[in-house]
Chains A and B, each alone.
Chain A
Amino acid sequence: MPGLTVQSSMACPICDCLVEMPALNADCAIYCPCCGDHLSSIKAESFDHALALALAGLALLLCATWYPFLGFSASGKEANMTLLDSATSLFGYDQPILGTIVFILMFAGPLGLLLTLITLLVLLRRPVAGSASHLLPLLARAVALLQHWNMVEVFLIGAVVSIAKISSMATIQIGLAFWCFIGFTICTIVSLACVDTVQLWRLIRMRHLAGS
């Protein structure tokens, strides 16, 4: 990328106002002077917090997939399900498209999001990225895409609504995986909230300039 320079201003993504970005100190936030929207903020060690939470979220997601999610019994019969059953059982009812969408939205997407986020943050932590510096924009792009379609919290509310819906008909056993999934949802949301996209791209650009 020839002639790439450091820019001190940016356009507000909401109203396109040209904003001169000050050199931000820790625990500062900047808002657009035109529309008042939050543009960026710096918190000390926020990327480290995001990495720690993403790792915790990944471990909890694996537990949530492994252990039984919900159990159900009525008239002396019993049934158990794991997290992935909610996608795979749709295939059994000739709904492969819906099954695939549900699988991507509640498992593959969030798993990919955590893996790319962890890779990105680990690479950013290393002082010399070397050959990995051209990977960073690609990873940040994947994180943004997966974040846009991330629906873990919606799935969690769906699970709560499902329990409320059938608790009058039968006895529900809440499995270990359900609690893990709650933890995973909280970790993922807080981890993503720790990553300021503007600062993330600023860091990636600085790393790129240092590498070239």
Chain B
Amino acid sequence: MSSNNTPIYSPQSAAAQGLQGCRRCFRLVPLPLKQCDFCGAEVSLRKQHAVQNTLAYLFTAIVLFVPANVLPIMVTSEFGSSKPSTILEGVVLLWHHGSYPTALVIFIASVLVPMAKVMALLLLCWSVVRRSPHRVQERKRLLALTELVGRWSMVDVFVVALLVALVQLAGVLTVAPGPAALAFCGVVLFTMLAAHAFDGRLLWDHAVNLKGEKVDHG
């Protein structure tokens, strides 16, 4: 970061007092220390390279999102003929069978949530880089929501694991995992890592204007 990008901390923040809040044990650690003097966790005023790390994990997730949706997530073999199906084909099939709630759960958890999560984190990163002072409460809620729903995308991976274990009637009906299962698992884990690498405190730093006065947090 260049010199005109020196961080501005809100006057009420611990960082303005040179205190680093330990992310693990909530102890306030004075500035020169790099480790918490109680639990030994790494401490800093703000997570180092939070935006870069978040973006790195996000791009990994975006790259994995392609094979996760293009390749088959499972292969169903019925009486000798095998039929591979992607995530979306599975949703469409469920919809045609009339199991609308199941189709919706899979569609929301496997398609909507990962995409919304990636977009939300990109938006948050962009707002931090732009030092946006606006809508802090909304952005805080967006980050909390991202962290809350992230794990739910794993539903599809567990469904594949369960079906592979359960549907094993040799010659009649078998289910095998497809290559997309691992890729999709990667999408979920990397978006979770991305959300974890982000530092929500950055959102609040720019809620002060250049004179150091607090802007309405509204």
CB within 8 Å of A: which B73-109 residues? 94, 97, 99, 101-102, 105-106
Whether the Cβ atoms of A4 and B38 lie closer than 8 Å is: yes
Q: How many of chain B's residues have a CB under 8 angstroms from any CB in A? A: 64
Task: Decide: A165 near B157, CB < 8 A? Known: A98-B185, A144-B24.
Answer: no
Whether the Cβ atoms of B38 and A205 lie closer than 8 Å is: yes
Q: Describe B's contact surface by its main secondary structure.
A: helix
Whether a CB of chain B sits under 8 angstroms from the CB of A151 is yes
Whether the Cβ atoms of B172 and A75 lie closer than 8 Å is: yes
Interface stretch of the complex, out of B49-57, B59-67, B118-126, B159-167: B159-167
Whether a CB of chain B sits under 8 angstroms from the CB of A52 is no
Interface footprint category on A: 35 or more
A137 to chain B, nearest CB (A): 5
Whether a CB of chain B sits under 8 angstroms from the CB of A58 is no
- Chain A residues with Cβ below 8 Å from B28 are 7, 9-11, 18
Whether a CB of chain B sits under 8 angstroms from the CB of A62 is no
Whether the Cβ atoms of A161 and B102 lie closer than 8 Å is: yes
Q: Which residues from chain B sit less than 8 Å from chain A, CB to CB?
A: 9-10, 12-15, 17, 19-21, 23-28, 37-41, 94, 97, 99, 101-102, 105-106, 136-137, 140, 151-152, 154-159, 161-169, 172-173, 176-177, 181-182, 185, 189, 192, 196, 200-201, 203-205, 217
A-B pairs with lowest CB-CB distance, top 8: A11-B21, A158-B158, A11-B14, A85-B165, A15-B204, A89-B165, A16-B201, A164-B102
Q: Which residues from chain A sit less than 8 Å from chain B, CB to CB?
A: 1, 3-4, 7, 9-18, 34-37, 70, 72, 74-75, 77-79, 81, 85-90, 93, 95, 97-98, 101-102, 105-106, 137, 140-141, 144, 148-149, 151, 154-155, 157-159, 161-162, 164-166, 168-170, 197-198, 201, 204-205, 208
